[in-house]
Structure 1
Amino acid sequence: MTRPPLDSIRNIGIISHIDAGKTTVSERILYYSGETHKMGEVHDGETVMDWMPQEQERGITITSTATVCRWGGCWINLLDTPGHIDFTIEVERSLRVLDGAVAIFSAVEGVQPQSESVWRQADRYRVPRICFVNKMDRVGADWRATLRQMEEKLGARPVPVQIPVGAESHFAGVIDLITRELVTFGEADLGRSVQRRPVPAEHLAEADGAREELLEAAADFDDTILADLLEDREIAPERLRRALRTGTIACRIFPVLFGSALRNKGIQPLLDAVDAYLPSPLDLPPVTAQRPDGASVDTLPCDPKGPLCAFAFKVQSDEGRKLTYLRIYSGTVKAGAALWNSTRGGFEKAGRLFRMHAHKREPIDEAIAGDIVAATGLKEVLTGDTLCDPGHRLALAGLSVPEPVVSLAVEPRGVDDREKLLPALEKLQWEDPSFRVHEDEETGQTILTGMGELHLEVVTDRLGREFGVNVATGRPQVVYRETITRPVERREVYRTEFEGRIQGGEVWLRLSPLPRGEGVRVVVPPVEELGIPRELRDTVATSIEQACSAGCRTGYPLTDLEVRVTAVPFEPGITTETGVRAAAGRGVLLAAREGGVTLLEPLMNLEIITPADYAGKVLGSVQQKRGRVEGISVQGALETIRAQVPLAEMFGYMTELRSATKGRGTFTMEFARFEQAPSDLLRRFGLSG
């Protein structure tokens, strides 16, 4: 592929709730753009984007996949992301580097829980979006209800640039409100041929009404359109698109299109909309990067001639070696170039560069600002690291990583498995920041911690398939948190003699409980106030953070507390780094125990979709699980139950729900917050209720 001009590049992702049709849309995009010559179907396990065996067997996307295609004069770097909440880190890191996104909604289910989650993630990174209401051919399709839910649940302003013609089995195509044409798709050639003709008379009134709303939305971003609208003058389609593009890039409106990806309808207009409304790298504000001194900030426009600055947003273990995905924000990187890792400190060498097509690679000599590429040879780089020119050191903002809430004990089955287990787990941790590994000090077991049962199931499956490590697993366990119930102050003194030298340290601490969801706040006064060397101050802060992550009674991390250092007395010749580290760590441990330790359990947001006939039985089961029902909504013959339920009660719930609804119920859940654990659980851990 020849290099495209920067203004023609679109770095976009496909985001949605699980089973809304992301991968099916991606496969059609590749087919109609000429990148593939056969449509892969999710139900056949033959898609290009879902290439992992685990994805093909389960019919879901597990890892975000990058590819490249061209549409007209537009060059699209496309990332297909998972919809399952267990793999939310894949969405998070993709949205961190994307310029735009296509949000897909099911016309039947509307705005579902994970739709809301990915929308909020996109809001956090201010990613412009267009929306595609899929499954218009399905029984129960209601596009107007979907638009209402976008307004109510997402707080968004959807602006239809099309309206569908027919629904369910009668879905025939769409009316383009900008060009005033009926658009249909050929049945005989898998939708390749797109026919445009005047709007039929029976649809004119509805189309004119919808176009009026479109013109009003466009007028908010172009005063000349407003003037022409008031004077009843004709407005050229290109002017409308420019105005809508302005509003979309500002994240103030979200153009909406309709179709049925499985029936090959609506994808070509969606590609046109990607080109028309989503930004190129040049359309977005320059990124900001910090200098090493931490005080000054550089503004980096998307310029291939600027200082090199790239963000590593994904690391993949590829046949035992690291393959690192990079978004280049500024400058140019060439194969074999020496780079500086600003996050970890140290030099790296980009051995080879590739443009990715799912799991296939196309070697390239260089990558410039605006590109999304992969590199080999970056040995110490992890997700969230910044790579830059060694002579112009810069650091980009990192990545928000969700806290894992489910753990699983694994044991190697044989001697060979024992030797291979830890190296394999290390490689899996390269890839996934939301996956953690530690050893239980009491049992010696290796504990895997992840986002949910499916997450850990996929990890153990990959251990066997990809790394040849056979493991036995225990029952999934909840990851709790410790906190304190009252403020406490403590003076901790440490003294020991080692190799003829006194190692000493003294730390004064004040621990205070914080409201739920606040996490750990470590407050260490500046060096001038403490009157100690900077390295000792940094040691105190690091030791406190480590002590909080280790917990004090049950081994679970501390949370929702403030640890404030009030003094670190310094005795020349006595106070050492080792002494201060020991005093701070032991001080936190003992102070927390004096502060009335209690346990917090993870609470999950649960949404169940069930036929109305079984709603009573489902509600009863939720209440038996200490669940709190927060709302019930009815859509046709289905009821949606929203509740909050402790995670400890939810293991194996899919089997229970299928039994209660004769296989017709589905549910999704995501982490909400930590909340006080019940007294019987506290007693089990030896804590007072």
Structure 2
Amino acid sequence: MPRKTLNLGILAHVDAGKTTLTERLLYAAGVIDTVGTVDAGTTRTDTLALERQRGITIKSAVVSFEIAGTTVNLIDTPGHPDFIAEVERVLSLLDGAVLVISAVEGVQPQTRVLMRALRRLRVPTLLFVNKIDRAGADAGRVLEAIRGRLTTAIIPMGTTDEPGTRAARFRPYGFDDPAFRTALTEGLAERDDSLLAAYVENELAVTDGRLRADLAAQTRRSLVHPVFLGSAITGEGVAALMTGLAELLPAEAGDPEGAVSGRVFKIDRGPAGEKIAYVRMFAGTVQLRQRLRIETAGGGDVEAKATGISVPEHGEWVRHSRLVAGEIGRLWGLNGVRIGDTIGQPPPTGGQWRFAPPTMETVVAPVRPADGGALRGALARLAEQDPLINVRADDTGREISVSLYGEVQKEVIQATLATEFGIDVTFHETTIICVERPVDRGEAVEVLNTESNPFHATIGLRVEPGPQDSGIEFRMGVDPQSMPMYVYKNADIFADHMAQYVRRTLREGRFGWQVTDCVVTMIDCSYSLADGPPSRRGPLSTPADFRNLTPIVLMRAIEQAGTVVCEPMLRVSLEIPVWAISAVLTALGRLGAAVKHQSLRGDLTTIEVVAPAARVPDLQRRLPGLTGGEGVLESTLDGYRPVRGEFTTRPRTTVDPRNRERYLLSLTRQGARG
């Protein structure tokens, strides 16, 4: 019989104690003999040198333990906003979560961000108010802050004795406590009409069993959030929390006989440099050496063989012959896989991750020029582990850029390159990532067997502006008989390849930025056969002819159409204390932000604005001072608008096809016609 598995996330604002709680849970479950500490750098899940040095979690880590016959795969996630993408990736995989809140600092800015994400994704969540033994701990104040700033749908599961001292204790409520029974019944009845009716008709008819079952059911549906209190350092309250994990969160056995369905959420490398894919299995079973269909996050299917499997058991990764539904495991042999790829069938939850792509980038340079080649390889490895880190090198290969969320992420990259790869680097000033949009229509054609065209193909392309935020649309506007079917097999395959050539070319427009929001139509096409027609008995056309001619034609059409450089705009949601409204609105006005909506809830107000992405980092830096550290800022991409005034250009990573002589020379050097 398949064992039950609970994939559990631990989330918190920085320094609320989630990594310490992870250690305490492992100790209580008998996985480790001593509790590691963040300060000493001895925790099981913070394995990166920078994590130990700074006392923060950067990469998600998985460790396993048992509670009452259920395997808990505990995922310790980052709390810093620069790593919110790592958090969001994990949230889509969870069966349940524990949100840790400090009994001293209370509900902090990132706590509110994380709770909103958990509620949006309907992840069943328990709250753990930590540090009740610390001076200044005030459980009552924190519970009121939770109701006012997170959610009113909470069920306190106990109280504290002697808070703020090393003797602090968590005293669980019992079902024989009249006050607790009344509060619990009323809280659950708000969302259960049948329980309300039974309670009104005869209070005594509502049994302990009914209350326990309803509490578990509503918790698993993310309707209510039980609150436990304790201290991860002393272990107080952790036993009650573990009981809550087993009884209140959904642990399922999964369907090992179903169609294989899993998702890659993390990529690592082994000692020999081999790729290791972390996979959450939703259904089915993966057997050792089984060939798997992988649907890539960017579209398309590939096949790979699972040459190795390991699963977490009792704090260690153990080699297994299979990975079954409900489990998290590591797979070897999936060399082309990337984060976000689907193994087999798409997961039933869909699980589209919701976070804005990075809008900033910076040039990274090795302190020792001789490290240039090693730096490119190291950055490629880091980009593999985080798909939102995009690495670019200019056409000389000497200037390398990486995309970023924030300054802490830059520090992490710098430290990782130094400690893991032995490469010391410096960074240039951070800049904003723009795009280009066509202004008008442009057309260009290169005809087969003409003096100006060295390729054995005819290509004609038309570029037109598309709807805003529509991306790139490619259309075929030529007769299928003019397409080289002897190479591409059918019209759909040829169209797919041409679309790839077009999109690859549009990565860099007239000013070096990606060209988007356009429609590209193929308006002319012909090919060459050695014994004619339609050619004049020219050499046989090959895919390389179409692939290498496309940039020349398309960039001529882009040049004719013209493009405008557009900067990213962010929709920013600010949650601030009411008393800070005036100062924040003044700052927003100076930054050129347009206020779209404003609402009030208790002592907090929410302001939604649209602002240039280039100005938002300044707002983030100033917000703590404007709000006494109470301000929360969340942002999502809101599209692009034309840059007003001067704009920056971006160095190309490839030779510009508009310089035909240099472009053709680069192809010769690459042996591209071979």
> If the length of structure 1 is used for normalisation, what is the TM-score?
0.76
> Structure 1: which amino acid aligns with 2:266?
K
CA distance in 2, matches of 1:395, 1:115: 31
Tell me, what secondary structure is at the counterpart of 2:501? helix
Match of 1:603 among 570, 574, 579: 570
1:286 aligned partner: none
CA distance in 1, matches of 2:291, 2:457: 41
Query: In the alignment, is residue 541 of structure 1 matched against residue 499 of structure 2?
Result: yes
The residue identity in structure 1 corresponding to 2:153 is P
User: How far is 1:505 from its partner?
Assistant: 1.5
The secondary structure found in structure 2 opposite 1:345 is strand
Amino acid at match of 2:401: I
Partner residue of 2:79 out of 58, 61, 83:
83
Aligned twin of 1:330:
283
Alpha-carbon distance between aligned partners in 1 of 2:325 and 2:381, rounded to the nearest angstrom: 29
Is the 1:527–1:534 Cα contact (8 Å) retained in structure 2? no
Alignment of 1:509-520 (within 5 A): 509-514=463-468, 518=469, 520=471
Quick one: which of 309, 312, 315 aligns to 1:355? 312
* Cα distance, 1:370 vs structure 2: 1.7
- Name the residue aligned to 1:312: 264
Asked whether the 8 Å contact 1:511–1:592 carries over to 2, the reply is no
Alignment of 1:446-465 (within 5 A): 446-465=400-419
Indicate the SS of the match to 1:281.
coil
Give the 3-state SS of the residue equivalent to 1:430 in structure 2: helix
1:280-429 aligned at under 5 Å gives the runs 280-282=251-253, 302-319=254-271, 320-343=273-296, 344-355=301-312, 361-388=317-344, 394=345, 400=353, 402-414=356-368, 416-429=370-383
1:466 aligned residue: 420
How big is the shift at 1:463? 1.1
User: Structure 1 residues 372 and 546, CA, compared in 2 at 3 Å: closer, same or farther?
Assistant: same
CA contact (8 A) 1:463 1:469 kept: yes
User: Mean Cα displacement is larger for which, 446-455 or 89-98?
Assistant: 89-98
Q: C-alpha deviations, 1:327-364, integer Å up to 9, x for none?
A: 22333334454444454513323234242777x53333
1:503-652 to structure 2, matched below 5 A, reads: 503-514=457-468, 518=469, 520-522=471-473, 524=475, 533-550=491-508, 552-559=509-516, 561-563=517-519, 565=521, 573=534, 589=555, 594=561, 597-603=564-570, 605=572, 624-626=590-592, 646-649=612-615
Describe how 1:204-215 pairs up with structure 2 within 5 A: 205=179, 207=180, 209-215=182-188
d(CA) in 1 for partners of 2:519 and 2:222?
A: 39
CA positional deviation for 1:69: 1.1
Counterparts in 2 of 1:180-199, with a 5 A limit? Answer: 180=176
Kept after mapping to 2: 8 A contact 1:504/1:576: no
The equivalent residue for 1:130 is 126
Q: Is residue 73 from structure 1 mapped to residue 29 from structure 2 by the alignment? A: no
Q: Check 1:442–1:674 CA distance in 2 against 1; reply closer, same or farther (3 A cut).
A: farther
Residue pair 2:478, 2:524 contacting (<8 A) in 1 also? no
Q: Say which SS state the counterpart of residue 378 (structure 2) adopts.
A: helix
- Give the TM-score taking structure 2 as reference length: 0.77
Change (3 A) 1:230 1:463: same
Q: Which residue of 1 aligns with 2:671?
A: none
Q: Distance in 1 between matches of 2:592 and 2:410?
A: 25
| Distance in 1 of aligned mates of 2:481 and 2:157 | 65
- Report the 3-state secondary structure (helix = DSSP H, G, I; strand = E; otherwise coil) of the residue aligned with 1:42: coil
Residue identity opposite 1:64 in structure 2: S
**Residue of structure 2 aligned with 1:475, choices 425, 429, 441:** 429
Provide closer, same or farther for how the CA distance between residues 124 and 357 of structure 1 changes in structure 2, counting only shifts above 3 A: farther
Corresponding letter in the other structure for 1:673: D
Match of 1:15 among 11, 16, 19: 11
Which of 152, 155, 158 aligns to 2:153? It is 158
Give the conservation status (yes or no) of the 8 Å contact 1:40–1:46.
yes
Q: Tell me if structure 1 keeps the 8 A contact 2:198–2:205.
A: no
Is 1:430 aligned to 2:384, yes or no? yes
Query: Residue deviations 1:220-241, cap 9 Å, x none?
Result: 4xx4774355222243333323
Letter in 2 for 1:42: V
Aligned residues: 617
Distance of 1:226 and 1:527 partners within structure 2: 69
CA contact (8 A) 1:493 1:583 kept: no
Equivalent position SS for 1:648: coil
Which residue number corresponds to residue 393 of structure 2?
Answer: 439
Partner SS for 2:511: coil
Cα RMSD for the two superposed structures = 4.4
Matched to 2:433, the amino acid is: V
Residue 190 of structure 1 is matched in structure 2 by: none
CA contact (8 A) 2:159 2:172 kept: no
- Give the drift of 1:419: 3.4
Residue matched to 2:240: 269
Q: What secondary structure, in the 3-state scheme, does the structure 2 residue paired with 1:79 have?
A: strand
Superposed counterparts of 1:671-686, under 5 Å = 671-676=636-641, 679-682=644-647
Supply the distance in 2 between the matched residues of 1:158 and 1:657 (Cα, whole angstroms): 29
Query: How many Å separate the matches in 1 of 2:598 and 2:512?
Result: 36
**Kindly, what percent of the aligned residue pairs are identical?**
26
Q: Which sections of structure 1, spanning at least 5 residues, go unmatched?
A: 152-156, 181-198, 283-301, 389-393
Q: Which range moved further: 535-544 or 347-356?
A: 347-356
Deviation at 1:446, TM superposition (A): 1.0
Which residue of 42, 45, 50 maps to 2:46? 50
Partner of 1:143: 143
How big is each residue's C-alpha offset from its partner over 1:18-43, in whole Å with a ceiling of 9 and x where there is no partner?
34432232222222222223223334
Amino acid at match of 1:304: P
Q: Deviations over 1:143-167 (max 9, x none)?
A: 123123234xxxxx62315253479
Q: In structure 2, do the counterparts of structure 1 residues 139 and 309 end up closer, same or farther at CA, with 3 Å as the change threshold?
A: closer
Which deviates the most, 454-463 or 638-647? 638-647
Are the counterparts in 1 of residues 463 and 558 from structure 2 also a CA contact under 8 Å? no
Indicate conservation of the 8 Å contact 1:507/1:569, yes or no: no
What residue ranges of structure 2 are gaps of 5+ in the alignment?
484-490, 528-532, 536-540, 651-674
